[in-house]
Amino acid sequence: MQLISAQLTAATVAIRSVLNMEYPADAVLRRFFRENPLLGANDRAFVAETVFGVLRHKYYLECLMDLVTPRALLLAYLAKFQGMNLRELTPHASESEVKWLTAIKSIAVDKQPLAVQAEFPAWLVEKLQAFMPDADILDLGRSLQQPASLDLRVNTIHAKRDNVLEALKQDGFEAEATPYSPVGIRITGKPAINRHSLFLSGHIEVQDEGSQILGYLLAPKRGDMVVDFCAGAGGKTLLLGALMNSKGRLYALDTSEKRLNNLKPRLKRSGLSNLHAQRISNENDLKVKRLAGKIDRVLVDVPCSGLGTLRRNPDLKWRQSPEGVQELKQKQAAILAASANLLKSGGRLVYATCSFLPEENQEIIEQFLVTHPKFSLLNCAELLAQQKISLETGEFLQLSPKSHGTDGFFAAALTIKKDEPSKLKPEKEPIKAEEKELVETKAHVPAKATIRKTTKTAKKEPPKAEKEKIVKVVKKKPAKTKNKEA
C-alpha cells in the first residue's frame, strides 16, 4: 500500500476526533465523512481501518511513546501492525519521528504486562481474573483484537440460503454458509454489501451469526404472540418475524424513537406484515402492562457493557467503566423482571447480552430465580438441538470469537413452572368441606320444623289432675334430699 500525505492527514484528524471517547467511534466517523465529502472510497477505507486499528491496539501503542498524540499513534500503528517499513514511512515523517520508529520496531508485544497484551483496561482484567486464568484472558483479548467477519442473514420470506449463496458467488463474492445459523452467510473482506440488489430488495440483512442464533433459541411459532423487549433497530425482530412466517403478532418495543425509526426501512424491505413497533417510556410503561400474561415468546436483549462486541466496537473498552457496569446491572434486573410479567404459562423468555461478565449474565439470572420462584431454567443446548443446531455450551448459551467465530454473546432461556396437581388439592379441600356442610344443613331443614312442632305441644297447659300430681312430687323431693344428707 502506497501512502498519500492527504490520507495521513485525514486519518490523524479522525483519530483526534475519536480519542476523547465522548461518542461511539462509528458515529464520530460517520460525522467526519459527512464533513469531508471530497474523500474518495480508498481514502475513507484507509481512515476507517486505521482509526479502528489504533483503538484495538491503543494500550500497547501508548506504551511505545513518551508523548501520546494522534499522529504518533497513527505512525506507530502503521509500523507495528500494518507492516510498513521505514522506507515507506520516511517520506511522511520527520527526522525525530524516523528515529523513534526505528527504536520501537524492536519492542515486542509479548513482553508487555497481561493488560497490555490483552488490550484490556486494568479494571477489566481485575474483573476477568475473578473467574478466568490469565492464559484464557489473553486468548480472549487477542481474539477481540481481530476485525469481525461480515455475516449476513438470508430473509426466508423472500429467498433460500442456497440460492442467495449461488447469486453472491456469481457476483464475485467469497461467500460460505455459517457453521451454526441455518440462514447465515459469511463474506470474506468488507465489500459494500448495502449497495447490492439482494440487500436493497430485502433478501439479505447484515447480522452477526451469534445474534441469529438467539432467534433460534427463542424459536417462535406461527401464530404466536411475541415481544422483542429491547428491539433497537430491529435486527433480531426481523429474524423472529421470518421464523414466524409473518403469522401471529410481533411487538418491537424500545425506549428510543430514533432506533425504531431506523427499523422502518428495514421492515419495508423485509416483506413482514405482522410486526408492530411501539416506543415505550420505560419497562413499566402502560403498553407493557397491557400485555401481561398474554405472550408466548419474549426476547430480552438488555442494554449491557457490550464487551463481547469489541471486534466491531473497540472504543467500548475505553469508554466503559466499573461504575457504568454497576448501573447497567440494576437496569438489567429491572427490565428482566418487567418483561417476565408478559409471559404466559408454558411460554419461553430468552435473556441475552453481548457481554462475557458473569455479573451481567449468570448472576442476574440467579438473582431473578430467587425472587421469581415460579420460573425455571431451560437447557439452551437442548433447545438449539431441537432446531438442529449443535452447540454444546451447557445450560446457558455462551458464544465467543475464538471458539465460535461470532461476537461474544450470553443467553439464558426461562419458562414458567407448571403447577403440580398434588399442590392444588389442599387448596380445594376446605371449599369441598364447606359445600358438604351446606348440603347437610339443607338436608336437615324438615327436622327443624318437627322440633318446633314438638316444642309448641310441650308448652300446652297440662290437665288439672296431672298438675296437682306434679306439684306434690316437687314438694316431696326436698324432704328426701335432707334425710339423705342427714
Q: Which long-range contacts (CB under 8 A, 24 or more apart) does 321-325 make?
A: 321/123, 322/123, 322/127, 325/357, 325/359, 325/360
Q: Annotate 205-270 with DSSP letters as a single string.
A: EE--HHHHHHHHHH---TT-EEEETT-TT-HHHHHHHHHTTT-SEEEEEES-HHHHHHHHHHHHHH
Please state, in angstroms and rounded to a whole number, the distance separating the CA atoms of residues 358 and 307. Answer: 12
Cβ-proximal residues to 321 (8 Å cutoff; 6+ apart), any chain: 123
Give the number of other Cβ atoms within 10 Å of residue 82's Cβ.
14
The answer to whether residues 161 and 182 touch, using CB atoms and an 8 Å cutoff, is yes
Residue 385 CA from chain centroid, whole number: 20
- Residues forming a β-bridge with 350: 299, 413
Please state, in angstroms and rounded to a whole number, the distance separating the CA atoms of residues 119 and 110. Answer: 12
* 64: enclosing H helix or E strand: none
304 part of the active site: no
The answer to whether residues 152 and 184 touch, using CB atoms and an 8 Å cutoff, is yes
Residue among 230, 304, 354, 380 flagged as catalytic: 354
The answer to whether residues 351 and 414 touch, using CB atoms and an 8 Å cutoff, is yes
Active site residues: 354
